[in-house]
Protein backbone atom coordinates (compact mmCIF):
# COMPACT_ATOMS: atom_id res chain seq x y z
CA UNK A 1 0.00 0.00 0.00
CA UNK A 2 2.04 2.92 -1.28
CA UNK A 3 0.70 6.40 -0.71
CA UNK A 4 1.85 9.95 -1.21
CA UNK A 5 2.47 10.22 2.54
CA UNK A 6 5.17 7.54 2.19
CA UNK A 7 7.03 9.72 -0.28
CA UNK A 8 6.66 12.69 2.06
CA UNK A 9 8.09 10.63 4.93
CA UNK A 10 11.06 9.61 2.79
CA UNK A 11 11.75 13.24 1.91
CA UNK A 12 11.50 14.26 5.57
CA UNK A 13 13.85 11.45 6.60
CA UNK A 14 16.41 12.58 4.04
CA UNK A 15 16.06 16.28 4.89
CA UNK A 16 15.81 16.24 8.71
CA UNK A 17 17.95 13.18 9.45
CA UNK A 18 16.20 12.46 12.76
CA UNK A 19 16.66 15.90 14.29
CA UNK A 20 12.97 16.51 14.97
CA UNK A 21 9.83 14.68 16.06
CA UNK A 22 7.11 13.56 13.67
CA UNK A 23 3.37 14.05 14.12
CA UNK A 24 1.04 12.47 11.59
CA UNK A 25 -2.24 14.35 11.83
CA UNK A 26 -5.50 13.51 10.09
CA UNK A 27 -9.04 12.26 10.36
CA UNK A 28 -9.88 8.92 11.93
CA UNK A 29 -9.61 5.63 10.06
CA UNK A 30 -7.24 6.66 7.29
CA UNK A 31 -4.38 4.28 8.19
CA UNK A 32 -2.03 6.74 9.89
CA UNK A 33 -0.69 4.05 12.21
CA UNK A 34 -0.37 1.55 9.38
CA UNK A 35 1.72 3.84 7.18
CA UNK A 36 3.94 4.83 10.12
CA UNK A 37 4.59 1.17 11.01
CA UNK A 38 5.26 0.17 7.40
CA UNK A 39 7.60 3.11 6.90
CA UNK A 40 9.53 2.20 10.04
CA UNK A 41 9.78 -1.48 9.02
CA UNK A 42 11.05 -0.64 5.54
CA UNK A 43 13.29 2.33 6.24
CA UNK A 44 14.90 1.56 9.61
CA UNK A 45 16.62 -1.55 10.87
CA UNK A 46 16.01 -3.10 14.28
CA UNK A 47 18.74 -4.41 16.57
CA UNK A 48 16.50 -7.10 18.02
Whether 2 shows a pLDDT value over 80: the answer reads no
Query: Which pLDDT band, with edges at 50, 70 and 90, does 37 fall under?
Result: very high
**7-26 core/surface letters (b: 16 or more CB in 10 A; e: else):** eebeeeeeeeeeeeeeeeee
> What is the per-residue DSSP string for 1-48?
---HHHHHHHHHHHHHTT-S-------TTS-HHHHHHHHHHHHS----
Q: Where are the domains of the chain?
A: 4-43
Q: Cα Rg for the chain, rounded, in angstroms?
A: 11
Mean pLDDT of the chain, nearest integer: 88
Amino acid sequence: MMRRIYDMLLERKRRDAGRSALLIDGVRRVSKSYIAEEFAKCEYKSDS
